[in-house]
Structure 1
Amino acid sequence: MFGFLEFTTVLLLSLRLLPIFVVMPLTIFTRAPIFFRLIIVLVISVILSGLVPIEHSVITISLIVSEFLLGTVLAFGFHTAFASLDLVGKLLDLQIGINTAGVFDPSSSHLNGVISDLLIAIAGVLFFILNLHYTLLSGLVALFRVVPLGSFNFQLLNIKKLVSLMGEQFIFAFIILLPVILGVWLVDIAFAIMSRSMPQANIYFLALPVKFIAGLVLLMLAMPMIVQNVPRLFDEPLKLILF
């Protein structure tokens, strides 16, 4: 029979999982209605409730806030991984000159870049192909043994480690696309030298298609390295869950 203790467990589980699954930056979640995402969280919480010992018979504000805060910390690493790819992709969009082809996304109310969307799609596909979603779920189950429901303390937060994790992910995402960025940058230098030696020529309109083609060719050549290294962006968030 589903009593008050079971309801308390499901509620605390849902609060811990809510930031991870409801605002997960994977395309399959961001395009789904919020009601559908809430149902996923509720179903997973009911399933996991059988694996979690029931310890709290009273729901307090501190329990609710602590579980939601822990879920926010866990979701932070995954958001940073996708945000780093989005930032570096938009930087490359701007450098190549195809940022004018950005498409307005009503779900985020901003223009999405072509390359940034491609990188995020690759990361989402690899997340499921490499079974990282299973690793995420098993890590969440293991986390209940390390940090039981309602036992998370605000003092356990290591802000310095979280900031360091964010910086490492952005730097690593930049390194992944560094060959393409440097290649387009060298094209810019070459045309800058040409503009000084031939000031009467309209270098901008000449450079734009060359940079576009060079950027796409370099991106295509670097794609095997990108696909190989993008999953490493999820290593630290999963370690954060698995401690």
Structure 2
Amino acid sequence: MEELALRIEAVLLVSLRIVPTLAFAPPFTLLRLPVPIRLLLALSLAMALVAGNPAAASGALEQGQSLLSLAAGELLVGIAIALSLQIAFAAIQWAGGAVDIQAGFGLATVADPTTQAQMPLAGTVFSYAAGLIFFTSGGPYDLLALWSASLEALPVGHGLRGGDMAAIGALLGSSFTLAMGLFALVMLVLFLLDLAIAFMSRTLPQMNMLLLGFQVKSIAMLAALPVALALSTGLALRLLRLAVERAPGLLGAGG
């Protein structure tokens, strides 16, 4: 009976590594899943991780460490893992917002029915596309492997070892650079249109170039987005892989 209680406590603690990602990190926040389903999924994955490595999950409990301190440490590990995915999708949203402003959509946002938040048009399209790429390219399996490796490198009771600030800075820089690359084609088209409109405003000052520019650039952006999405699939996949690969640096468990 005591062993069963110990196993249940270990499952609940390990689930705290998984819950932050399923509850707060894209692309899982882009899915309309009920909270009980997310909790059951987290508990099921935690049971599998504990069964695969019972010593790492139950060692601290057998030593009689405080449950509250253990839960706090596991929650910090889970937040660090979720942060890597949040950075990747935040970079996509930021780059999409920059494109919207360049195209004249800066005053308009899209109401996302899933997150109940206002999101930029281009960023919303690419975020859902990145989520689709994540699920179809084996992202959930990579994430499961990351949780398993984190339990082996940081058993229950060890908490974070202090994330490497250089690794965090490298993840931020690489993520935002790749996110800008996703929209490079759209930005180039809009830049060339800005140049053309600027030359026209010099030769045809009587025309309302501001109004014409908004219309032309809006149509051009909507036409260029599908092409840019098709050409930047590899970059999106690299961005998602980077988020998973650099997560151990956020945990202080090595690269």
TM-score of the pair, normalised by structure 2: 0.84
Structure 1 position 157 matched with structure 2 position 158: no
State the SS of the aligned residue for 1:111. strand
After superposition, the Cα gap between the structure-2 partners of 1:163 and 1:33, relative to the gap in structure 1 and judged at 3 Å, is farther
Match of 2:59 in 1: 55
Question: Given the alignment, which residue of 63, 66, 71 partners 2:73?
Answer: 66
Contact kept, 8 Å, 1:5 with 1:56, in 2: the verdict is: no
Match of 1:210 in 2: 216
After superposition, the Cα gap between the structure-2 partners of 1:110 and 1:238, relative to the gap in structure 1 and judged at 3 Å, is closer
Match of 2:186 in 1: 180
Deviations 1:127-160 (A, max 9, x none): 111111112112221222222122234x432233
Deviations 1:174-223 (A, max 9, x none): 12212211220221122123223322211122222221232233333333
After superposition, the Cα gap between the structure-2 partners of 1:227 and 1:163, relative to the gap in structure 1 and judged at 3 Å, is same
Q: Shift of the alpha carbon at 1:123?
A: 0.6
Match of 2:237 in 1: 231
Amino acid at match of 1:42: L
Match of 2:87 in 1: 80
State the SS of the aligned residue for 2:60. coil
RMSD over aligned CA atoms reads 2.3
Contact kept, 8 Å, 1:8 with 1:56, in 2: the verdict is: no
**Aligned-partner Cα distance in 2 for 1:185–1:75:** 35
Amino acid at match of 1:162: I
**Aligned-partner Cα distance in 1 for 2:28–2:195:** 37
Q: Shift of the alpha carbon at 1:77?
A: 1.0
**Count of paired positions:** 242
Deviations 1:43-70 (A, max 9, x none): 2112222112221223343322221111
Amino acid at match of 1:130: S
Amino acid at match of 1:191: I
Contact kept, 8 Å, 2:91 with 2:179, in 1: the verdict is: yes
Match of 2:252 in 1: none
Q: Shift of the alpha carbon at 1:233?
A: 0.8
**Aligned-partner Cα distance in 1 for 2:33–2:105:** 28
State the SS of the aligned residue for 1:104. strand
Structure 1 position 190 matched with structure 2 position 196: yes
**Aligned-partner Cα distance in 1 for 2:236–2:114:** 25
Structure 1 position 33 matched with structure 2 position 34: yes
**Aligned-partner Cα distance in 1 for 2:120–2:228:** 19
**Aligned-partner Cα distance in 2 for 1:221–1:181:** 12
Q: Shift of the alpha carbon at 1:89?
A: 1.4
After superposition, the Cα gap between the structure-2 partners of 1:28 and 1:164, relative to the gap in structure 1 and judged at 3 Å, is closer
**Aligned-partner Cα distance in 2 for 1:158–1:42:** 29
Query: What percentage of residue pairs aligned between the two structures are identical?
Result: 29
Match of 1:12 in 2: 13
State the SS of the aligned residue for 1:56. helix
Q: Mark the runs of 5 or more structure 1 residues left unpaired by the alignment.
A: none
Q: Mark the runs of 5 or more structure 2 residues left unpaired by the alignment.
A: 249-254
Match of 2:173 in 1: 167
